[in-house]
Amino acid sequence: MKKVHFSEWGLESPRYWGLLALMAVIVAIGGAAAWYMEHNGHWVTGMTNQIVWGTPHVFAIFLIVAASGALNTASIGSVFEKKLYKPLARLSGLLAITLLMGGLAVLVLDLGKPDRLLVAMTHYNFKSIFAWNIFLYTGFMAVVAVYLWFMMDRRFNKHYRPVGILAFVWRIILTTGTGSIFGFIVARQGYDAAILAPMFVIMSFAYGLAIYILVLMFTYKIDGRELGDKVLFRLKNLLGVFAAAVFYFTLVYHITNLYGTENHEYEAFILLNGGIYTFLFWVGWVFVGCLLPMALVYHPTIGKTRGGIIAAAVSVILGGLATVYVIVIGGQAFPMAMFPGKTIVASGFFDGVNGQPFLYSPSLPEVLLGIGGMALVLLLTFVAIRVLQFLPVSLADEVVDPHHAKS
C-alpha cells in the first residue's frame, strides 16, 4: 500500500461557509425549539404523563447509538488490522465524537431542568444505568479523542493500537449500556428483554456505518477527491451484512416474545393492530431499515452504482429512526399490564382503558430539536475536517489496494 496522505477539507470558501451557515441555521432553529419547550414547559410538546419520552429521545438515542457504530471502520482497521480500513479511521473517530455530542445535546435539552446539568455531574446513584451512561459517554469521547490524537500525531503513532482496542471495547459497553436503559425496565412489557442490549449493539453497527458512508461520499464528492470502488464496495457490503444482522435480531426478539403467552398482546400490538406503530414496524423497521438496503446493496447492478449505495445508506437511517421510534414510543404506548386477567374499564388517570394504547403525536418543536441535533453533528464534523487532517487526499483504488500499488 502506498503511503496515505491526509489533508484538510479544501472546499473553496464561499461554498464552505455557505454550507456551515446552513447547518448553523438549522442548529439555531433546533436551539430555539428547545428554548421554547423549556420556557413554556413540556405542555407545548406531545409528551404526557403516559408517553414520557418522545421524539427528542428518538433522535437522541438514534444519534448516540450511531456514534458508537461510526467507530466501526476505525476499529476494523486498528483492532482487526485490516489495511484497507486504516485510512478511514480518522473520519470514523471524528464522527463517533460528533454524533455523540449531537445526541447528548438533544437528550440534555429535553430534560425538565437542563439548567441542573451540574447536579447530574455531582450527584450519582450508581445503581442507575443512566448514571453509568454519563461516565460511558464522557469516557467514550475522551478515549476516542486520545485514539485520534495517537493516530494523527507521528510521535505516538506506534501506540495507537492499544487505544484503538480500548475504544472498541468501550463502544461495545456503551451501546450495551444504551440498550440496557430499556432492557432493565421491568415495568413495561416491550422493554423487559435482555436481547435489547445486543440488538442495540448491532443497530449501532448499521446506523453508524450508514452515516459514515454518506458523510464520506459527500465530503469527497464536493471536494473533488477520489473515492474508489474498492473502499466504497467494501463498506456497502458491510452495511448489507449489518442490515441483515438487525433483521436477524428483530426476528429473534419477536419470536422469543411470541413464545410466551404473556407477551401475546404486546406482540399483537406491534405486529398487527398497533396502528402507527405496526405501520412503522413493518414498513419502517423491517422493510426500509433491513430488507430494502439489503436488496439495494446486493443487487448486481444497482448495488454497484453510487446512487444505489446512497439510497441504501439513507434507507438504513430512515429505517433506523423508525426502529427507535417503535422501541421508545411504541413500548410506552402499549398499556402496562398491572392487573393480569382483568380489563381496566374506567380510570381517572389514563390506564389504557379497555386495552387502548396511549396517545402520542409528535409536536413540531420536538422534531426541530431532533433535526437540530443532526445538523449539529454535521456542523461539528465540517469544522473539524476543515481545520485538521482527517480526510485522506485520495481513496482511489490504487491508493488503498496493495495489489494495485504493486502492479
Q: Which residues bind other proteins (CB under 8 A)?
A: 38, 40-43, 46-50, 52-53, 111-114, 116-117, 119-120, 123-125, 127-131, 134, 181, 184-188, 332, 336, 338-339, 341-351, 358-359
Considering the complex, what minimum distance in angstroms separates the CB of residue 87 from other proteins? Answer: 39
Task: Between 125 and 407, name the residue whose CB sits nearer to other proteins.
Answer: 125
Task: Between 190 and 289, name the residue whose CB sits nearer to other proteins.
Answer: 190
User: How many other CB atoms are there within 10 angstroms of residue 21's CB atom?
Assistant: 11
Task: Between 135 and 156, name the residue whose CB sits nearer to other proteins.
Answer: 135
Task: Between 140 and 382, name the residue whose CB sits nearer to other proteins.
Answer: 140
CA distance 58 to 329: 8
Task: Between 218 and 350, name the residue whose CB sits nearer to other proteins.
Answer: 350
**Residues contacting residue 211 through CB under 8 Å, at least 6 positions apart:** 66, 69, 70, 95, 99, 313, 317
Task: Between 3 and 127, name the residue whose CB sits nearer to other proteins.
Answer: 127
Considering the complex, what minimum distance in angstroms separates the CB of residue 291 from other proteins? Answer: 31
Considering the complex, what minimum distance in angstroms separates the CB of residue 149 from other proteins? Answer: 30
The runs of H, that is alpha helices, within 223-303 are: 229-259, 264-268, 276-279, 292-298
CA distance 361 to 47: 8
Q: Which residue has the cell 402499549?
A: 334
Considering the complex, what minimum distance in angstroms separates the CB of residue 347 from other proteins? Answer: 5
**Residues contacting residue 370 through CB under 8 Å, at least 6 positions apart:** 30, 55, 56, 58, 59, 60, 106
Q: In terms of Cα–Cα distance, which of 99, 100, 138, 98 is closest to 117?
A: 138
> Burial letters for 24-57: b for 16+ Cβ neighbours within 10 Å, e otherwise?
eebbebbbebbeebbeeebebbbbeebbebbbbb
Q: In terms of Cα–Cα distance, which of 359, 368, 277, 285 is closest to 319?
A: 285
Considering the complex, what minimum distance in angstroms separates the CB of residue 55 from other proteins? Answer: 14
Considering the complex, what minimum distance in angstroms separates the CB of residue 385 from other proteins? Answer: 33
Considering the complex, what minimum distance in angstroms separates the CB of residue 119 from other proteins? Answer: 5
Angle at 52 between CA 50 and CA 55, to 5 degrees: 120
Task: Between 31 and 114, name the residue whose CB sits nearer to other proteins.
Answer: 114
Side-chain half-sphere CA neighbours of 19 within 13 A: 18
Reduce the DSSP state of residue 228 to 3 states and report it.
Answer: coil
Considering the complex, what minimum distance in angstroms separates the CB of residue 136 from other proteins? Answer: 12
Considering the complex, what minimum distance in angstroms separates the CB of residue 70 from other proteins? Answer: 25
Q: In terms of Cα–Cα distance, which of 369, 352, 382, 332 is closest to 17?
A: 382
Task: Between 308 and 331, name the residue whose CB sits nearer to other proteins.
Answer: 331
Q: In terms of Cα–Cα distance, which of 257, 279, 256, 252 is closest to 333?
A: 279
Considering the complex, what minimum distance in angstroms separates the CB of residue 52 from other proteins? Answer: 4
CA distance 280 to 336: 21
Task: Between 255 and 338, name the residue whose CB sits nearer to other proteins.
Answer: 338
Task: Between 13 and 187, name the residue whose CB sits nearer to other proteins.
Answer: 187
